[in-house]
Amino acid sequence: MITTLSVLAIVCLLSLAFILVIPYFAATKAIVQFLPQDIQEAAKVHSDPPVGKRVIGYLLTALALAGYGGALFFLGADGLRRGYGFWLLFGRYMLFLYGYKLFDILVQDQYVVITKKYFVKIYPETRDCRSWDDRSFNTKNQMIRLIAFPLVCALLAWITLLIGR
Protein backbone atom coordinates (compact mmCIF):
# COMPACT_ATOMS: atom_id res chain seq x y z
CA MET A 1 0.00 0.00 0.00
CA ILE A 2 2.92 2.37 0.69
CA THR A 3 4.10 1.95 -2.89
CA THR A 4 0.66 2.76 -4.28
CA LEU A 5 0.30 5.82 -2.05
CA SER A 6 3.82 7.00 -2.99
CA VAL A 7 3.06 6.72 -6.70
CA LEU A 8 -0.27 8.46 -6.09
CA ALA A 9 1.49 11.35 -4.34
CA ILE A 10 3.96 11.72 -7.21
CA VAL A 11 1.16 11.70 -9.80
CA CYS A 12 -0.85 14.23 -7.79
CA LEU A 13 2.16 16.57 -7.67
CA LEU A 14 2.73 16.05 -11.38
CA SER A 15 -0.91 16.84 -12.04
CA LEU A 16 -0.80 19.96 -9.89
CA ALA A 17 2.31 21.15 -11.72
CA PHE A 18 0.50 20.43 -14.98
CA ILE A 19 -2.53 22.53 -14.06
CA LEU A 20 -0.37 25.40 -12.77
CA VAL A 21 2.22 25.53 -15.58
CA ILE A 22 0.71 24.26 -18.82
CA PRO A 23 -1.86 27.08 -19.25
CA TYR A 24 0.99 29.53 -19.85
CA PHE A 25 2.15 27.43 -22.81
CA ALA A 26 -1.01 25.92 -24.27
CA ALA A 27 -3.59 27.26 -26.68
CA THR A 28 -6.44 28.93 -24.82
CA LYS A 29 -9.06 26.62 -26.33
CA ALA A 30 -7.19 23.54 -25.11
CA ILE A 31 -7.25 24.75 -21.51
CA VAL A 32 -10.70 26.31 -21.22
CA GLN A 33 -12.49 23.39 -22.87
CA PHE A 34 -12.66 21.81 -19.42
CA LEU A 35 -14.30 24.89 -17.89
CA PRO A 36 -17.97 26.00 -17.99
CA GLN A 37 -19.47 27.45 -21.16
CA ASP A 38 -19.58 31.11 -20.04
CA ILE A 39 -15.86 31.00 -19.24
CA GLN A 40 -15.12 29.39 -22.61
CA GLU A 41 -17.03 32.18 -24.37
CA ALA A 42 -15.28 34.95 -22.43
CA ALA A 43 -11.85 33.40 -23.03
CA LYS A 44 -12.28 33.30 -26.82
CA VAL A 45 -10.82 36.81 -27.04
CA HIS A 46 -7.65 35.73 -25.22
CA SER A 47 -4.72 35.43 -27.62
CA ASP A 48 -2.79 32.20 -27.80
CA PRO A 49 0.88 32.12 -26.86
CA PRO A 50 3.45 32.14 -29.69
CA VAL A 51 4.05 28.89 -31.59
CA GLY A 52 7.29 28.18 -29.74
CA LYS A 53 5.55 28.30 -26.38
CA ARG A 54 2.72 26.11 -27.65
CA VAL A 55 5.26 23.49 -28.78
CA ILE A 56 6.68 23.52 -25.26
CA GLY A 57 3.13 23.14 -23.96
CA TYR A 58 2.51 20.11 -26.17
CA LEU A 59 5.80 18.56 -25.06
CA LEU A 60 4.98 19.14 -21.38
CA THR A 61 1.53 17.65 -21.92
CA ALA A 62 3.04 14.58 -23.58
CA LEU A 63 5.50 14.27 -20.71
CA ALA A 64 2.68 14.46 -18.15
CA LEU A 65 0.62 11.84 -20.01
CA ALA A 66 3.69 9.59 -20.19
CA GLY A 67 4.09 10.06 -16.44
CA TYR A 68 0.49 9.01 -15.79
CA GLY A 69 0.86 5.98 -18.06
CA GLY A 70 4.21 5.15 -16.50
CA ALA A 71 2.66 5.25 -13.04
CA LEU A 72 -0.05 2.77 -14.05
CA PHE A 73 2.56 0.56 -15.73
CA PHE A 74 4.77 0.68 -12.64
CA LEU A 75 1.89 -0.20 -10.33
CA GLY A 76 1.00 -3.18 -12.50
CA ALA A 77 4.59 -4.39 -12.93
CA ASP A 78 5.30 -3.99 -9.23
CA GLY A 79 2.11 -5.88 -8.41
CA LEU A 80 3.14 -8.74 -10.66
CA ARG A 81 6.62 -8.79 -9.12
CA ARG A 82 4.99 -9.10 -5.69
CA GLY A 83 2.75 -11.94 -6.90
CA TYR A 84 -0.53 -10.02 -6.82
CA GLY A 85 -3.56 -11.71 -8.27
CA PHE A 86 -6.56 -10.09 -9.90
CA TRP A 87 -8.17 -8.75 -6.72
CA LEU A 88 -5.00 -7.22 -5.28
CA LEU A 89 -4.24 -5.53 -8.61
CA PHE A 90 -7.85 -4.40 -8.84
CA GLY A 91 -7.66 -2.94 -5.33
CA ARG A 92 -4.36 -1.22 -6.10
CA TYR A 93 -5.78 0.40 -9.22
CA MET A 94 -8.94 1.39 -7.33
CA LEU A 95 -6.92 3.04 -4.57
CA PHE A 96 -4.83 4.87 -7.15
CA LEU A 97 -7.68 6.08 -9.38
CA TYR A 98 -10.06 7.04 -6.57
CA GLY A 99 -7.22 8.70 -4.65
CA TYR A 100 -6.29 10.70 -7.72
CA LYS A 101 -9.92 11.64 -8.38
CA LEU A 102 -10.31 12.82 -4.77
CA PHE A 103 -7.23 15.02 -5.21
CA ASP A 104 -8.54 16.27 -8.55
CA ILE A 105 -11.94 17.23 -7.14
CA LEU A 106 -10.84 18.71 -3.82
CA VAL A 107 -7.53 20.34 -4.67
CA GLN A 108 -7.55 21.08 -8.37
CA ASP A 109 -11.22 21.79 -9.06
CA GLN A 110 -12.49 23.15 -5.77
CA TYR A 111 -9.39 24.87 -4.39
CA VAL A 112 -7.23 25.95 -7.33
CA VAL A 113 -9.95 26.61 -9.92
CA ILE A 114 -12.90 27.76 -7.79
CA THR A 115 -11.55 29.10 -4.48
CA LYS A 116 -8.27 30.63 -5.67
CA LYS A 117 -9.59 31.36 -9.18
CA TYR A 118 -6.16 30.57 -10.60
CA PHE A 119 -7.27 30.73 -14.23
CA VAL A 120 -8.62 34.25 -13.80
CA LYS A 121 -4.98 35.34 -13.44
CA ILE A 122 -4.19 33.75 -16.80
CA TYR A 123 -7.44 34.70 -18.53
CA PRO A 124 -8.43 38.06 -16.95
CA GLU A 125 -11.24 38.56 -19.46
CA THR A 126 -13.15 35.80 -17.63
CA ARG A 127 -13.13 37.67 -14.28
CA ASP A 128 -16.86 38.49 -14.34
CA CYS A 129 -18.06 35.01 -15.29
CA ARG A 130 -20.61 33.57 -12.87
CA SER A 131 -19.26 30.04 -13.20
CA TRP A 132 -16.15 30.87 -11.17
CA ASP A 133 -18.41 30.56 -8.12
CA ASP A 134 -20.22 27.39 -9.24
CA ARG A 135 -18.75 24.53 -7.23
CA SER A 136 -20.77 21.96 -9.15
CA PHE A 137 -19.55 22.90 -12.64
CA ASN A 138 -17.97 19.51 -13.31
CA THR A 139 -20.25 17.21 -11.32
CA LYS A 140 -21.69 15.21 -14.23
CA ASN A 141 -18.28 14.38 -15.72
CA GLN A 142 -16.85 13.52 -12.31
CA MET A 143 -19.78 11.21 -11.51
CA ILE A 144 -19.39 9.39 -14.82
CA ARG A 145 -15.72 8.77 -14.04
CA LEU A 146 -16.41 7.66 -10.49
CA ILE A 147 -19.00 5.15 -11.74
CA ALA A 148 -16.72 3.89 -14.52
CA PHE A 149 -13.63 3.40 -12.33
CA PRO A 150 -14.45 -0.12 -11.10
CA LEU A 151 -14.83 -1.28 -14.71
CA VAL A 152 -11.60 0.46 -15.71
CA CYS A 153 -9.75 -1.03 -12.75
CA ALA A 154 -11.03 -4.52 -13.52
CA LEU A 155 -9.93 -4.12 -17.12
CA LEU A 156 -6.50 -2.84 -16.05
CA ALA A 157 -6.06 -5.73 -13.62
CA TRP A 158 -7.10 -8.26 -16.24
CA ILE A 159 -4.77 -6.75 -18.89
CA THR A 160 -1.91 -6.64 -16.38
CA LEU A 161 -2.34 -10.32 -15.59
CA LEU A 162 -2.78 -11.21 -19.24
CA ILE A 163 0.44 -9.45 -20.27
CA GLY A 164 2.43 -10.35 -17.16
CA ARG A 165 1.91 -14.06 -17.08
**What is the pTM assigned to this prediction?**
0.86
Tens digits of residue pLDDT in 88-131:
999 999 999 999 999 999 999 889 988 888 888 888 888 888 88
Q: What is the mean pLDDT of residues 27-32?
A: 84
CB 19: neighbour CB atoms within 10 A? 20
Contact 110/18 with Cβ under 8 angstroms? no
As for how many domains the chain has, the answer is 1
In angstroms, rounded to a whole number, what is the distance separating the alpha carbons of residues 156 and 112? 30
Residues spanned by the domain of 27: 2-164
Q: Is residue 27 over pLDDT 90?
A: no
